[in-house]
Structure 1
Amino acid sequence: MMKYDAVIIGSGQAGSPLAARLAKAGWKTALIEKRWVGGTCVNDGCTPSKTLIASGRRAYLARHSAALGIQMPSPVVDMATVIQRKDRIVTAKRARLEEWLRKTNGLDLITGAASFTGEKKLTVHHPDGTFTEVEGNFIFINTGASPQIPALDGVNDTPYYTSTTIMDLKTVPDHLVILGAGYIAMEFGQLFRRLGSQVTILDRSAALLNKEDDDIAGELKNILEMEGIKIRLGATVTKAKRLSDGQVELTLSADGPSQTITGSHWLIASGRIPNLSELKPERAGIVLTKKGFIKTDDRLETSVKGIYALGDVREGPAFTHISYNDYLVVSRNLLDKAGLSVQDRLVPYCMFTDPELGRIGLTEKAARENGRRIKVAKLSMSQVARGIETGETRGMMKAIVDEDTHEILGASILAPNGGEIMSVLEVAMMGKLPYEKIRDGIFAHPTFSESLNNLFMTLDNV
């Protein structure tokens, strides 16, 4: 039995920095990783997907350059090279992270799959068939989440892709059918449409992106449909079947009689589930939520004292930057006695469609449901000087303001670099600035952020 002060399970965006900081603070630390260091973000999420999206945008810009007076031949997508570039970037990033971890004094990097055998005891099953038993005074779970596969008739006999496996395709699909209409579906749908695929998105919901305001979701839907993506809402997939020619046939239950749709490739993007099947948290007495995620308090401690859960394995916003903030909360509380909490923290996020959706704080819908007295500022990108000059006029800016305090409660920025523009408003929210400070602030001209002046000027006569 190997004994440690701290055992971290999973080397994602919380696990790796936490392991390094605890080791540098003098804690004897073990970091257990069953696959590759870096977790979802580096290997299967942010890094590879945004690398591919960059290739899709280049193809889109080449096709639409004539409007700016630049005549170009139709671009030819070399998918093998696109994937090679993605793999090269991922491998380099992973290698740098692993080198950093292995050079950290007091930190043991252990490869294998961990399973609880008791409250703070684990067995690590190594790839070579051997195993190691470890015990920690503190245990930190950062095992992340994986794509959820729905229990559909025929799903186990029908080839499908997930957000992980589709990023290794060496050829562009003729017709990609996507099950689900969330952020992953939107990003991959636009990506493969731009690479040359016919794309159909299917979802049983009556509305697109139900966490967003209707005007924002509607604007994005129009943008994607203008690019040639077909979006079918209110359509429940009931059966999947592989045809003799290798294509996939999906049976839909929609208004009227059932229908079928056929595609060359099928992407399942209908949610994610926590990676807990191998870990066996019940053996440690850890309580789960109704959805199967690890339940924690507002300082990320589980039902077992001294065992913490960070990142996507716990129920809450599943974003890389939130996982990293989980690390900050836990490490500063344990080492600096900071008394931090995850309750009421600001949760920014981006959907990396083009234009990009940057989001922070309350939507108009949520604010009204909460009974808040608000004012709503809106500005079309067709009225933004920088957008007109660059030919980037799709999308809109929207902000929610407290009618009494004039503080900014939230924002939805569907625009080029929407996440960067949103971050300006996030800083204003962190400082509890009244919206007039942004309305009257000096921003460099002509930038997209400068039009935040104009956005809040729309409230002058409200």
Structure 2
Amino acid sequence: MTRRFDAIIIGAGQAGPALADRLTKSGKTVAMIERKWLGGTCVNTGCMPTKALVAIARVAHVARRAGEFGVRGVGPVSVDMTQVKARAATISGNARQNVTTWLDGMPGCTVIRGHARLEGNGMVRVGEETLAADWIFLNVGGRALVPELPGVRDIPYLTNTSILQLDTLPAHLVIIGGSYVGLEFAQMYRRFGTQVTVIEKGPALIGREDEDVSAAVRDILEAEGIHIHTHVREIGFAKAGDGITVQVDQNNIACSHVLLAVGRVPNTSDLGLERAGVATDSRGYIQVDGQLGTSAPGIWALGDCNGRGAFTHTAYNDYEIVAANLLDGESRSVDDRIAGYALYIDPPLGRVGMSEHQASASGKSVLVNKRPMTRVGRAVEKDETQGFMKVVADAKSGEILGAAILGTGGDEAIHGIIDMMSVGATVAQMTWAVPVHPTVSELIPTLLSGLHPVDA
């Protein structure tokens, strides 16, 4: 017997529960299918537990600097990893329980635990049961990529998920991958007291960013004692007693733990997409149009699995777009989204829109301005002057094309520019804003007023 619903949502990550809420409030019946954790990556293995760890690492870092601010009575600082793990797990667990309570108490929503597979013609199988709906939403997320490197299957490697289970401090953590996830773990574990080495095959860390951003991030991390290797050609692994040997070109690095942080893959290989006519790209990401519709009528893909954003906030915006179009009669498109994100090292990097390199490569007539954080009063007062602020604009239209704020509060200050870009405000309009002093954001109008041609 087939159970029929108005809508089926596969995956209870960021977009799923919110969409279920909107659908049920509009009078529709919803089946929410989840095979693992309600709440998805963000709640369980992503933002919430990792940013809790980042916060703990910052407390340890600030405590070690107490004497620089004239604060006495602070002795040697160490970290209790059992307590660290417990705090992150509690924060994550509480959030997961909140999502569970929300969904279980949602009128019109039926939560089904199990592995869903598409059968075609609006049909979904979960175990021995068959469900049917006119609308199907795929919100299945992604997982850490395990690269096919020599010896990797012979060692007890860690991913961003399994490293959260550590309750002892690694003696030496080698991180494969010098991008966002790897660098956040690198700094936090260094601040916990671990020796940390980062291995990156590319010529620079966070390769999608401008060279000056990448170089500044490297300087920040190396100043804290993190060893960084770039331009690496060959990487291999071997067990060595109780430890691990990592081959980096012609050198061997002995370590206690290895974290693989080289990217993500979507959880799409076992969904039966081909049976429903849902097309994917070469990497397994579900192909969608601007309204997030797939190649199969009546099926949409939201969140990390569609390759149109790899963040909690973009997944939530996917829900907003789909709900607005299906329930509110609007015609919103993911193609109109302003791309913003952050790297949560300390100080953080806030980013929006094009980098300077991307803007210049686009053929536009580009204006740019850059100010060091040493010119920001708030940063000086806190003695956190690493980094800089940079903005890029179109010389002809005055359109703000993108910005980077690497510095204290950069993850928050960037929203001033995100908001400007979202409403289409021009440089001329925003130059006359009167921000609050003393803040990091107060430098934004000054930054805009100093824009000049790239080559000037």
TM exceeding 0.5: yes
Q: How does 1:152-301 map to 2 (within 5 A)?
A: 152-244=149-241, 246-253=242-249, 258-301=250-293
- 1:148 corresponds in structure 2 to 145
**Distance in 2 of aligned mates of 1:180 and 1:459:** 34
1:27-426 equivalences in 2 (<5 Å) = 27-71=28-72, 72-125=74-127, 131-244=128-241, 246-253=242-249, 258-426=250-418
Is 1:202–1:232's contact at 8 Å kept on the other side of the alignment?
A: yes
Pairwise CA distance, 1:118? 2.8
Question: Deviation of residue 277 (structure 1)?
Answer: 2.8
Cα deviation for residue 237 of structure 1 reads: 4.1
Task: Report deviation, 1:280.
Answer: 2.1
Give a deviation string over 1:193-240, Cα, whole Å, max 9, x none. 000011100011012212111111111110111011111001144321
Q: Which of 434, 439, 450 is equivalent to 1:447? A: 439
Rounded Cα–Cα distance in structure 1 between residues aligned with 2:219 and 2:11:
40
> C-alpha displacement at 1:357, in angstroms?
0.5
In structure 2, the residue corresponding to 1:433 is in which secondary structure?
coil
Deviations 1:28-55 (A, max 9, x none): 1100011121000000100000001000
- Aligned mates of 2:64, 2:287 — CA distance in 1: 48
How many angstroms does 1:278 deviate by?
Answer: 2.7
C-alpha separation between the residues in 2 aligned to 1:29 and 1:296? Answer: 22
Q: Give the residue type in structure 1 aligned to 2:27.
A: G
CA contact 1:178–1:202 (8 Å) conserved in 2: yes
Equivalent in the alignment of 2:5: 4
Structure 2: give runs of 5+ residues left out of the alignment: none
Report the Cα offset of residue 283 of structure 1: 1.7
Q: Is the Cα–Cα contact under 8 Å of residues 444 and 450 in structure 1 kept in the other structure? A: yes
Counterparts of 2:313 and 2:297 in 1: how far apart (Å)? Answer: 25
- What's the counterpart of residue 425 of structure 2? 433
Q: Does the CA contact (< 8 Å) of 1:119 and 1:285 recur in 2?
A: no
Which secondary structure does the structure 2 equivalent of 1:194 belong to? helix
Deviation at 1:320, TM superposition (A): 0.5
| CA–CA separation in structure 2 for the residues paired with 1:172 and 1:436 | 52
Write the deviation string for residues 151-186 of structure 1: whole angstroms up to 9, x where unpaired. 122211210000111011101111100001110011
TM-score (norm 2): 0.96
1:101-129 CA-to-partner distances (Å, cap 9, x unmatched) read 1111111011111112334222213xxxx
Alpha-carbon shift at residue 26 of structure 1 (Å): 1.2
Secondary structure of 1:350's aligned partner: strand
Task: Give the aligned length.
Answer: 452
SS at structure 2 position matched to 1:22: helix
Quote the Cα distance in structure 1 between the aligned partners of 2:317 and 2:240.
46
CA distance in structure 2 between the partners assigned to 1:77 and 1:261 by the alignment: 25
SS at match of 2:336: coil
TM-fit CA distance, 1:435 = 2.1
TM-score normalized with structure 1 length: 0.95
SS in 2 for 1:313: helix
Q: Which amino acid aligns with 2:80?
A: D
Matched-pair contact (CA < 8 Å) for 2:269–2:284: no
Q: Distance in 2 between matches of 1:363 and 1:312?
A: 22
Over residues 54-75 of structure 1, what are the superposed CA-to-partner deviations in whole Å (9 max), with x where a residue is unaligned?
Answer: 0000000011122211132121
Change beyond 3 A, Cα 1:119–1:157: farther
Cα separation, 2, equivalents of 1:284 and 1:209 = 37
Amino acid at match of 2:363: G
Give the C-alpha shift of residue 460 in structure 1: 7.3
Does structure 2 retain, via aligned residues, the 8 Å contact 1:379–1:454?
Answer: no
Q: Distance in 1 between matches of 2:153 and 2:209?
A: 33
- 3-state SS of the aligned residue for 2:82? helix
Kept in 2, the 8 Å contact 1:180–1:269? The answer is yes
CA distance in 2, matches of 1:74, 1:407: 51
Aligned to 2:21: 20
TM superposition shift of 1:18 = 0.7
SS of 1:346's equivalent in the other structure is coil
Q: In the TM superposition, what whole-angstrom CA distance separates every residue of 1:388-446 from its partner, at most 9, and x where no partner exists?
A: 11101011000001112222111000011212110001111122222244333211111
- Opposite residue 171 of structure 2, the aligned amino acid is D
Report if the CA contact (8 A) 1:443-1:449 is conserved. yes
Deviates more, 1:422-431 or 1:439-448: 439-448
- Report Cα offsets for 1:237-279 as digits up to 9, x if no partner: 43211111x21112223xxxx2221111000001110102331
SS for the counterpart of 1:81 is helix
Say which SS state the counterpart of residue 68 (structure 2) adopts.
helix
Q: 2:42 is paired with a residue of what secondary structure? A: helix
Show the counterpart of 1:128.
none
Q: Distance in 1 between matches of 2:294 and 2:252?
A: 45
For 2:243, give the aligned amino acid.
Q
Instruction: Tell me, in whole angstroms, the C-alpha distance in 1 between the residues paired with 2:358 and 2:20.
Output: 37
Q: What's the CA shift for 1:316? A: 2.4
Q: Partner letter of residue 203 of structure 2? A: A
Q: Deviations over 1:75-124 (max 9, x none)?
A: 12011111111111111111111111111111101111111233422221
CA contact 2:78–2:193 (8 Å) conserved in 1: no
C-alpha separation in 2, matches of 1:383 and 1:99: 48
Secondary structure, in 3 states, of the residue corresponding to 2:86?
A: helix
